[in-house]
A and B are shown apart, each in its own frame.
Chain A
Amino acid sequence: MIAQGTAPALKYTAQNDAAEAIHVENLHKRFGELHVLKGVSLSARDGEVIAIIGGSGSGKSTLLRCINCLENPTSGIVRVNGEEIRMKADSHGHTVPADRKQIERIRSKLGMVFQNFNLWSHMTLIENVIEVPVHVLGVKRDVATAEAEKLLARVGLAEKRDVYPAFLSGGQQQRAAIARALAINPRVMLFDEPTSALDPELIGEVLKVIGDLAREGRTMVLVTHEMKFAREVATHVVYLYNGLVEEEGPPEQIFGAPKSERLKQFLRNVG
């Protein structure tokens, strides 16, 4: 058992017997000369909400995108669902996934929500939500549609089911994108700065949906600039600085009693 000196630490260690949904170990990512991630480790057990915070260029989005191989890690281990992503070197010496099928299988268990929503513009909301269940996962169309209607209702967009994304506000689009992610019944939800592209008055509605998901025990990894929100919903906070984990711990510790000077400085700047 890990030493539990302080009360906040209990909240985190209490869940340590849950299965590990995501495991990242000593991850490196280089873009040419640029060394973005310099050996980052991260773990998300079932039911945990991991918030990744950090300044611009700290590597937090890259870290998230390495989990589902939208970026190929240069080296290190990524395990999703206990399954390690196999990598190989291509003819240019870049690391690429060894098995495309494996990546596709892993990706279909991860519900990714993007900063810019990335809804498919030629499909209505309901078509967006059933697209992956029907065409990738092989769910019957009527079953998927019934499920999608529930999900759209849940994010407050039931009456917008036949509207194309371009006719909706950013907040509505992002809520639809969350419904699309939920439709694959993901093991883990990945959020890449879900509110950064939104007008300030629309941020609340999206955070509310994400907060509800966190409270019902969904496993999530969340890259965010919303410190107040991270403090509310996260079970564990990771502060990245310059491609390394500078400090991590339960939100009470990270926001209440940060140890690192850089983290203190960061919190002062964003707070």
Chain B
Amino acid sequence: MIGVGGAYGKLYGGPVVRDLLEVYTTVVRAVPELVLILLLYFAGTDLINQLLTALGHAAIDINGVVAGIGVLGVVQGAYSTEVLRGAILGIPQGQIEAARAYGMPPGLLLRRITLPAMLPFAIPGLANLWLIATKDTALLAIVGVNELTQTTRTAAGATKAYFTFFMAAGALYLALTLVSNVVIGRVERWARRGMPSIAGSH
């Protein structure tokens, strides 16, 4: 979602929107995710709570899961902005022009033409991002999320069976990836339905 908005803003937005998005994608992609997670979790909760207190509400305790998902979303949004921007540029311009020539308003054009037409170009990049994101969850341990790697380390430390537990964790990540690949493969086949396969085999 952030990616679609970002890519659209960068391609068609006014100069202010474009500059803001440029700052967003540059900063987020330049700063290590670990730093961002820490920054947004600790500084972010502090900021929100200060705001809430100022407005007369009670301070809330933001839990690590929500903060973690939020940060990963912001990070993925920055990368997918670029993936989608490339995919939109990959659409033959004539197809967009044809839609305009038939009087399609911009919202309809995005939904009916641009998004489905760019999907085949976007899926490899988005699939990469998704797989990276599944592994990035390991970083969320730092804000106290009980994710796979952290749990494994605790279990391994307690039992001293490091090899077993880390192999098991690796296998779980692998399983997640394999399942993802199957799903992504299906989606990609569907998205490329209008395109002849390059190898010529069906």
Which A residues fall within an 8 A CB radius of B?
68, 70, 100, 103-108, 110, 112, 114, 116-124, 131-132, 135-136, 164-167, 184
Contacts and interface: CB of A to CB of B under 8 A. Distances in A.
A104 B117 contact: no
A167 B100 CA distance: 24
Given A68-B101, A112-B98, A118-B92, A167 B196 contact: yes
B112 A131 contact: yes
Please provide the 8 A-B residue pairs with the shortest distance between their CB atoms, ordered closest to farther: A108-B103, A118-B94, A107-B103, A164-B194, A118-B98, A104-B103, A112-B101, A121-B194
Interface hub of A70, A110, A136, A165 (most chain B Cβ within 10 A) = A136
Interface of B: 92, 94-95, 97-105, 108, 112-113, 116-117, 119-120, 191, 193-196
B102 A122 contact: no
Interface of B is mostly: helix
B102 A108 contact: yes
A122 B108 contact: no
Nearest to B96: A118
Contacts of A135: 104, 108, 112
B196 A70 contact: no
A121 B100 contact: no
A166 B196 contact: yes
Given A108-B102, A108-B103, A184-B102, A114 B196 contact: no
A108 B95 CA distance: 16
Given A107-B103, A117-B94, A118-B94, 6 more contacts: A104-B105, A107-B102, A118-B92, A121-B195, A132-B103, A135-B108
Interface centre among A100, A122, A164, A184, by most B CB within 10 Å?
A122
Contacts of A136: 102-105, 108
B194 A123 contact: yes
A107 B101 contact: yes
Contacts of B116: 122
B98 A120 contact: yes
Contacts of B99: 120
A214 to B, nearest CB: 21
A68 B102 CA distance: 9
30 contacts: A70-B97, A70-B101, A104-B103, A104-B104, A105-B103, A106-B103, A108-B103, A110-B101, A114-B94, A114-B98, A118-B92, A118-B94, A118-B95, A120-B95, A120-B99, A121-B117, A122-B116, A122-B191, A122-B193, A124-B194, A135-B104, A135-B112, A136-B103, A136-B105, A164-B194, A164-B195, A165-B194, A166-B194, A167-B196, A184-B102
A121 B99 CA distance: 12
A116 B98 CA distance: 10
Contacts of B194: 121-124, 164-166
Contacts of B119: 122
Given A131-B112, A166-B195, A70 B100 contact: yes
Contacts of B98: 112, 114, 118-120
Contacts of A70: 97, 100-101
A108 B105 CA distance: 11
B113 A120 contact: yes
Nearest to A91: B14
